[in-house]
Chain A
Amino acid sequence: MERHILVVLPHPDDEAFGLSGTLAKHIKNGTQVTYACLTLGEMGRNMGIPPFATRVTLPSIRKGELEESCRAIGIQDLRMLGFHDKTIEFEDQDLLDAKINDIIKEVRPSLIFTFYPGYSVHPDHDATGAAVIRTVARLPKDERPTVHCIAFAKNLEQGIGHPDVLVDVKEFLPQKVQSILAHRSQFQVAELLNSTDHTSKEIQDRFGTERFWTYKFD
């Protein structure tokens, strides 16, 4: 069992599809989870259908959605770090790394989840993963937590091979679906909205397994 998990992702909703089931599973086993979300997704393009958010209201709407998603998963400790969407790759790296390092020092996680740098499509994803890897790599080898990365680039299997951690989350699909549905300005997932049957084969095949790459430090 993990004592304390730290999740470091840039956008509200990054947790929903990729690891909400895994987090719910750990939380049921008694693990504490701290989620550091770097931005409020201020520059997201989805505004709801019909659009109910504006560029001005989107940050507060997404903050509420993030809090609802965390409640659905059972996350005990949500931190919003106040960076701006789309700017992570341009941020002062020392500032970014120091914020992440402070949280690592405080909660002493045994496991960290983030994006795999270079294989996560969105520049904010790659830059967030790179900041976590830089920060963990600076720790003495015997103090480094394990880092499990999410990746979904098209070429990822040529680059980093197959995921080495597969988590069966079928038992936690109710929490996962609630997490996804919490982000109502961002996702319109018809089959989820039309079906609350978490035992259907389609839902289980699409959402029942989460996959991660363990980052290999030198």
Chain B
Amino acid sequence: MQLINQSEVQRRIDDLKDQDLYIHLEMTTGAYAAHFDSSKHPAATFITNAIIRFSHGSISGSGPYRVGLKMEHGWVYSEGLTHYEETEPERLIMAGHDSQGKLIVSLQLSRQPF
């Protein structure tokens, strides 16, 4: 994974618009959050290989970044993204890692199922 290059990610988002895409969207505080610190609230959610289509999409912020994708009847939104996978030209693989390197959020788009 590389630190997000905003203009490169924007170019890839534009390449993926107006077509059916498989999405993986996730946010997690980790299954052990409350075990290590009882004041923490463990929460996690993910959706994998749902199909979406967006007409406008952009990445904003100055890092960590936000991404919003406008669909016919709604939105995809993700905040806290720090890294993307440069070596995956066909798919957009993005994630946010915390200060310990742990994944806390991810947003992935692909023309093929994950």
Contacts and interface: CB of A to CB of B under 8 A. Distances in A.
A52 B103 contact: no
Interface string A57-91: 00000000000000000000000000000100000
Residue in A48, A51, A124, A153 with the greatest tally of chain B CB atoms within 10 Å:
A51
Contact of B102 (A47, A56, A122, A123): A47
Q: Is the interface of A mostly helix, strand, loop or mixed?
A: loop
B32 A46 contact: no
Interface in A35-54: 43-52, 54
Contacts of A47: 1, 95, 97, 101-103
Given A45-B103, A51-B97, A54-B95, A122 B1 contact: no
A184 to B, nearest CB: 12
Given A45-B102, A46-B102, A121 B97 contact: no
A55 B44 contact: no
Interface residues of B, number: 25
Contact of A49 (B24, B44, B83, B101): B101
Range of interface residues on chain A?
A: 20 to 34
A154 interface: yes
Contacts of B102: 45-47
Interface string A117-144: 0000111100000000000000000000
A123 B44 CA distance: 12
A43 B28 contact: yes
B20 interface: no
Interface in B15-68: 24, 26, 28, 30-32, 35, 44, 46
Given A55-B26, A55-B95, A56-B88, A50 B101 contact: yes
Given A44-B103, A45-B103, A56-B85, 11 more contacts: A45-B104, A47-B103, A48-B101, A50-B1, A51-B83, A51-B97, A55-B108, A56-B114, A86-B44, A86-B46, A121-B32
Interface of B: 1, 24, 26, 28, 30-32, 35, 44, 46, 83, 85, 88, 91, 93, 95, 97, 100-104, 106, 108, 114
